[in-house]
Amino acid sequence: MEQLILYFTQAGFTGAEAAQIAGCFTFRKIPKGDFFIEEGKISRHLGFVEQGFLQYFVIVEGEEKTTYSVGHGNFVASLVSFLKQVPSKESIRALVDTSLWLIDKNTLKKIQKDIPAFAHFYIELLEWQICCIDESRLDSLLLNAAERYKKMLDKEPSLIQQIPLQYLASILGVTPRHLSRIRNSIR
Amino acid sequence: MEQLILYFTQAGFTGAEAAQIAGCFTFRKIPKGDFFIEEGKISRHLGFVEQGFLQYFVIVEGEEKTTYSVGHGNFVASLVSFLKQVPSKESIRALVDTSLWLIDKNTLKKIQKDIPAFAHFYIELLEWQICCIDESRLDSLLLNAAERYKKMLDKEPSLIQQIPLQYLASILGVTPRHLSRIRNSIR
DNA sequence: CCTATTTATGGACATTTGTCCTGCTATGCC
DNA sequence: GGCATAGCAGGACAAATGTCCATAAATAGG
């Protein structure tokens, strides 16, 4: 909790505000393999990833397709479901042991009203979130699988050790067979 | 301008507020083929598309790759560039004659401060924008080119008449040769 | 009306990626 | 230790998509 208070203090809130805001979050650990949210349910919480890695996916024709992934320092939620409070099209699962700070939608709305500066903070958070999605979108459109694999090697080197190849392949948008080819071609 | 005032009145603002907000926008027409923003420049304006259709693209290895597209009733900007005020990675071009309402970043910030209700309106706008990007992201990951073509036929039937196939192919993420195969297979 | 240019179609072939399968290795469990 | 299982690599072939090209139809400009 101290880290959260520190975080909001550094973001420009007074000590009292930071404590009030931080108090709205709850802590949760998700063991490897467990779900943050399942398809069809409503994403009621926004999570800040303190540690770990999560995979967004849908099942289409019996196959899991990864649609997004987030690591520590990022926010996680099935966005459309959380924002509109409609059933989620995606499931989200921890691929490694993960710890999160959670806040629910109503509380989030409430502190936007109570603390005007928080509304502006939330605007910047949304804007930053848009930039993250945008980068992911451009990556999947402009890089090929080999380039995406190299980028992942670069940004999350520890993941390659911890996560079975079949998940890495799904995150990269290729079959395990093809990821094997990519790894072979790199070395 | 009356339409804009009406729009903001219906969004819950008082007549005076709606007039003040609408007054912050300027009108611009972009003829078919002209640019809304070019790669490398900073996206200084957020635009609301009154009429028309715009294509986001980058040039990679001499080839245009479409990264996003928007039609009437949507907002347009090179998002990361507009939000962070950094040079845009993408260019945006009108594929048909297009008309827009524009607002610049500073003015947008200013009315967020002056009219508290506008901050909350802007939050909803950002959230809605996230949902739009998300839908586009899921479409490009989960639908194949033929399905995306059918969806486009469904949502923007007039485009297929107005825009040369090479652009449609680029929007769908395939070569014109392959789009020709898709059209052939549908009929 | 004629010509040049743009646009659309589709053949032939190459490349990329997926599917199916086999075997090898490592690891946990009794 | 031995066995069942999960994880990974890669061969052989199939399917999807790109490249290059030739042709024909549509359109614009004089």
pLDDT at A55: 96
Assessment of whether the complete model's pTM goes beyond 0.85: yes
At residue A3 the predicted structure's pLDDT band, cuts being 50, 70 and 90, is confident
The answer to whether residues B94 and A142 touch, using CB atoms and an 8 Å cutoff, is no
pLDDT at B89: 95
Is pLDDT above 90 for B1? no
The amino acid that residue B111 corresponds to is I
pLDDT at B61: 85
The mean per-residue pLDDT over the stretch A170-186 comes to 96
HEC-encoded secondary structure of A11-40: CCCCHHHHHHHHCCCEEEEECCCCEEECCC
Q: What tokens appear for A78 in the block? A: 């099935």
Is pLDDT above 90 for B39? yes
* pLDDT tens, residue by residue, B57-94: 999 888 899 999 999 999 999 999 999 999 999 999 99
Q: What tokens appear for B46 in the block? A: 């957020």
Q: Which residues of B touch A (CB under 8 A)?
A: 58, 60, 65, 67-68, 79-80, 83-84, 89, 112, 116, 119-120, 122-123, 126-127, 129-131, 133-138, 140-142, 173
At residue B133 the predicted structure's pLDDT band, cuts being 50, 70 and 90, is very high
* pLDDT tens, residue by residue, A56-106: 999 988 889 999 999 998 999 999 999 999 999 999 999 999 999 999 999
How many contiguous H segments (helices) and E segments (strands) does chain A have?
A: 9, 8
Average model confidence (pLDDT) across chain A = 94
pLDDT at A51: 92
Inter-CA distances, A59 with A35, A67, A89, A93, B146, Å: 14, 10, 9, 13, 20
| Closest residue, chain B, to A131 (C-alpha) | B80
B67/A173 touch (CB, cutoff 8 Å), yes or no:
no
The answer to whether residues B21 and B118 touch, using CB atoms and an 8 Å cutoff, is yes
List all nucleotides in chain D with at least one atom under 7 A from a protein Cβ.
6-12, 16-21
Residues from chain A contacting residue B142 (CB–CB below 8 Å):
58, 60, 65, 67
A79/B130 touch (CB, cutoff 8 Å), yes or no:
yes
Average model confidence (pLDDT) across chain B = 94
- Please state whether strand D lies within 7 Å of residue A166 at its CB atom: yes
Q: Distance, angstroms, CA A179 to C1' C8?
A: 37
Share of chain B above pLDDT 70, in %: 100
Residue in A126, A135, A138 nearest the CB of B130: A126
pLDDT at A174: 97
pLDDT at A20: 96
Is pLDDT above 90 for B3? no
A89/B135 touch (CB, cutoff 8 Å), yes or no:
no
B141/A141 touch (CB, cutoff 8 Å), yes or no:
no
Is pLDDT above 90 for B49? yes
The amino acid that residue B39 corresponds to is E
The mean per-residue pLDDT over the stretch A1-11 comes to 90
Q: How many CB atoms lie within 10 A of CB B26?
A: 14
Is pLDDT above 90 for B2? no
pLDDT at B123: 93
Suggest the residue from A70, A76, A137, A140 to mutate for an interface test with chain B (most B CBs closer than 10 A).
A137
Share of chain A above pLDDT 70, in %: 100
Q: What tokens appear for B118 in the block? A: 């506008």
Is pLDDT above 90 for A2? no
Q: Which residues of A touch B (CB under 8 A)?
A: 58, 60, 65, 67-68, 79-80, 83-84, 89, 112, 116, 119-120, 122-123, 126-127, 129-131, 133-138, 140-142, 173
